[in-house]
């Protein structure tokens, strides 16, 4: 492979660089790989293979790898053994990578095909710096011993129990020193025989012992992890859904953020210099409302501060579909009315709190303002649809609730959103469609350390739209949006009233080109200071008074897999 070659995707497996003693990210180089392999196999299920690989790079790297494998599958015995030894050398380092794996198991047919097995694995990567004959910081070694018991894997219902240990060694001078060892037990169960109700369980308990704190960054600890997933499909699909529940303990790292400037349009955030001092501060960055303002990205900066945390996750998704109960053209009356409804509810909730024991089961234990809460994110969506599959008209009512809390280096930050949405659609004719969307809700941000960022908005808006379609050639859409936002008096009492007219069109030229155009006139009444966090949110990045926004997008397909797009945005 030549040095100038630039792959679009990964061309080798993720363990390639580790096995050859290379860094995770390597510089481009001309590579030459010479491989020799041979295989011996008999009729009793025995097979043995040998492979030799010579790997050279133009940056003075040379490596040679020997791989020996042995496999057996006979009389209930399964053996999978592998030994890989790699020697490598470059301008600054030399080293050896050793990776033996021994996996032996036996299936007992007289015990309902239960399988008992043992597995040993070692990875030892010793990289020596030529300048001082000491081990590189990238050197490592760990070994695992595993014993497992599994039920018949060909059955739909299957279970397993596994006990394993892992010992880690770290580089110190010219040697690898044992630093820590973990003892683990894992239980799994999969109940998949029923097509209506299925359950998957996975639980792990881990105890960590530290032998040398000068080389290991770990602390002695006990942790538990659990996961349960339930799936259902009952009454011919009338009730469908799934539930996912996870819990565990671990170390939570305090988060810090920094904002880095990037070319316009490639970021997500905008910097508003609220105090006009020319200094970028954390409380002056907002999510950009327009692409040309998106000049900053937020990156995560790790800290050395850790908190032992307990976490729980609860997700569910359920749907009621009465149309599968009442089928056929003869249904009428109440059955026909019920048949048009569809109900759906889903929730995603994840919580991390200060650990006060081994595990914590209740995902709803703490409120948003509880100091024991580290992070929390909740999203709840409930919706009812009538005539959802009708091509003529339909009504949708939904309630969306999002709230979250994060522990940052400057304190806690909490967000809350609660929206009730009503949508009505009506197909007047094959060419004309009318819909109207109404929303009433709340949008809030609470940051005790940055009082200028706090707000709690009551939001109400309504948006009717009329769409004209001429086959697949031309589309014209016009709409009006009335929006009122009112901040609570304790956070400033600001109020904005927005009246927006929008015109949007799309024209397809032949089969390879299209032109999109959009124009918006937005008049906003706002009698407070416009250079604040609250005003930026309430005004959607615009200014009080008359606002004009326009967009033109020209797209042309040059070849089957090549498309050219030209976009122009403007606002005043």
> Does residue 301 have a pLDDT over 80?
no
DSSP 8-state code for residue 27: -
Host H or E run for residue 406: strand 393-408
Residue 518 pLDDT class (50, 70, 90 cuts): very high
pLDDT above 70 coverage of the chain, percent: 95
Tell me the average pLDDT across 372-380.
Answer: 83
Tell me the average pLDDT across 301-310.
Answer: 72
- Residue carrying structure tokens 């892992």: 166
Tell me the average pLDDT across 126-134.
Answer: 89
Residue 548 pLDDT class (50, 70, 90 cuts): very high
Residue 491 pLDDT class (50, 70, 90 cuts): confident
pLDDT at residue 71, rounded to an integer: 94
pLDDT at residue 323, rounded to an integer: 82
Host H or E run for residue 265: none
> Does residue 282 have a pLDDT over 80?
no
pLDDT at residue 33, rounded to an integer: 92
Average of per-residue pLDDT values in the chain = 88
Half-sphere exposure of 310 (CA within 13 A, CB side): 19
447-471 pLDDT, tens digit per residue, is 877 777 888 999 999 999 999 999 8
Residue 311 pLDDT class (50, 70, 90 cuts): confident
Is residue 534 helix, strand or coil? helix
pTM of the model: 0.74
> Does residue 330 have a pLDDT over 70?
no
pLDDT at residue 304, rounded to an integer: 66
407 or 138, greater pLDDT: 138
Distances (CA, A) of 451 to 149, 256, 446, 448, 491: 58, 19, 8, 6, 9
Lowest average pLDDT, out of 5-9, 178-182, 339-343, goes to: 5-9
pLDDT at residue 436, rounded to an integer: 96
DSSP 208-250: EEES-TTT-----EEEEEEEEEEEEEEGGGTEEEEEEEEEEEE
Report the alpha-carbon distance of residue 36 to residue 367 in Å, rounded. 63
pLDDT at residue 125, rounded to an integer: 92
Tell me the average pLDDT across 207-223.
Answer: 88
pLDDT at residue 478, rounded to an integer: 95
Distances (CA, A) of 248 to 219, 224, 284, 371: 17, 5, 36, 20
Report the alpha-carbon distance of residue 210 to residue 261 in Å, rounded. 42
pLDDT at residue 354, rounded to an integer: 78
Report the alpha-carbon distance of residue 525 to residue 545 in Å, rounded. 6
Report the alpha-carbon distance of residue 536 to residue 94 in Å, rounded. 58
Give, rounded to a whole angstrom, the gap between the first and last alpha carbons of the chain.
53
The sign of the CA dihedral 488, 489, 493, 495 is positive
Query: Which among 340, 464, 344 has a CA at the least distance from the CA of 392?
Result: 340
> Does residue 409 have a pLDDT over 70?
no
> Does residue 106 have a pLDDT over 70?
yes
Percentages (nearest 5) of helix, strand, coil residues in the chain: 5, 65, 30
Tell me the average pLDDT across 364-389.
Answer: 82
232-263 pLDDT, tens digit per residue, is 998 888 899 999 999 988 776 666 677 888 88
DSSP 8-state code for residue 49: E
Q: Which long-range contacts (CB under 8 A, 24 or more apart) does 394-403 make?
A: 394/424, 394/425, 395/422, 395/423, 395/424, 396/421, 396/422, 396/423, 397/421, 397/422, 397/423, 402/377, 402/378, 403/368, 403/376, 403/377, 403/378
Residue 329 pLDDT class (50, 70, 90 cuts): low
Helices (H), 164-279: none
pLDDT at residue 6, rounded to an integer: 76
Host H or E run for residue 538: helix 533-538
Residue 196: φ, ψ to 5°: -100, -35
Report the alpha-carbon distance of residue 563 to residue 513 in Å, rounded. 9
């Amino acid at each position: 492979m030549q040095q100038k070659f630039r792959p679009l995707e990964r061309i080798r497996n993720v363990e390639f660089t580790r096995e050859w003693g290379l860094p995770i990210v390597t510089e481009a180089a001309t590579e030459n790989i010479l491989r020799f392999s041979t295989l011996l196999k008999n009729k009793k299920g025995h097979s043995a293979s040998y492979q030799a690989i010579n790997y050279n790079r133009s940056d003075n790297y040379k490596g040679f790898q020997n791989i020996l494998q042995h496999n057996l599958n006979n009389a209930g015995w399964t053996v999978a053994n592998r030994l890989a030894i790699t020697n490598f050398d470059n301008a600054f380092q030399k080293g050896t990578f050793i990776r033996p794996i021994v996996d032996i198991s036996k299936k007992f047919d007289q015990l309902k095909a239960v399988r008992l097995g043992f597995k040993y694995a070692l990875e030892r990567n010793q990289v020596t710096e030529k300048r001082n004959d000491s081990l590189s910081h990238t050197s490592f070694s760990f070994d695992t011993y595993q014993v497992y018991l599994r039920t018949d894997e060909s059955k739909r219902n299957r279970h397993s129990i596994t006990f394993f240990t892992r010992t880690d060694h770290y580089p110190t001078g010219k040697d690898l020193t044992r630093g820590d060892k973990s003892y683990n037990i894992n239980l799994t169960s999969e109940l998949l025989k029923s097509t209506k109700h299925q359950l998957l369980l996975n639980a792990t308990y881990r105890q960590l012992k530290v032998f040398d704190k000068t080389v290991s960054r770990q602390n002695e600890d006990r942790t538990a992890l659990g996961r349960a997933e339930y799936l259902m499909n009952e009454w011919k699909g009338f009730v469908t859904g799934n539930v996912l529940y996870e819990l565990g303990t671990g170390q939570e790292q305090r988060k810090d953020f920094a904002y880095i400037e990037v070319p316009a349009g490639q970021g997500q955030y905008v910097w508003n210099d609220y105090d006009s001092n020319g200094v970028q501060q954390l409380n002056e960055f907002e999510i950009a409302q327009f692409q040309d303002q998106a000049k900053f990205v937020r990156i995560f900066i790790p800290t050395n501060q850790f908190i032992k945390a307990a976490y729980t996750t609860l997700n569910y998704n359920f749907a009621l579909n009465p149309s599968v109960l009442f089928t056929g053209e003869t249904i009428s009356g109440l059955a026909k009315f019920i048949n048009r409804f569809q109900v759906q509810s889903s929730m995603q909730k994840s919580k991390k709190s200060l650990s006060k024991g081994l595990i914590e089961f209740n995902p709803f234990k703490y409120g948003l303002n509880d100091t024991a809460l580290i992070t929390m994110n909740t999203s709840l969506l409930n919706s009812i649809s009538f005539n959802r599959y009708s091509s003529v008209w339909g009504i949708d009512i939904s309630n969306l609730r999002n709230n979250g809390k994060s522990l940052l280096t400057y304190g806690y930050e909490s967000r809350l959103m609660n929206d009730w949405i009503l949508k009505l659609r009506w197909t007047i004719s094959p060419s004309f469609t009318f819909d109207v969307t109404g929303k009433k809700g709340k949008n809030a941000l609470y940051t005790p350390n940055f009082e200028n960022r706090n707000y709690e908005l009551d939001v109400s808006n309504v948006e009717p739209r009329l769409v004209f379609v001429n086959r697949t050639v031309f589309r014209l859409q016009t709409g009006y949006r009335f929006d009122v936002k009112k901040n609570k008096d304790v956070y400033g009492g600001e109020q904005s009233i927005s009246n927006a007219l929008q015109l949007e069109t799309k024209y397809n030229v032949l089969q390879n080109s299209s032109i999109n155009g959009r124009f918006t006139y937005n008049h906003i009444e706002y009698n407070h200071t416009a250079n604040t966090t609250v005003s930026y949110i309430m005004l959607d990045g615009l200014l009080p008074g008359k606002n004009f926004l326009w967009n033109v997008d020209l797209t042309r397909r040059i070849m089957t897999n090549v498309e050219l797009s030209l976009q122009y945005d403007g606002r005043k």
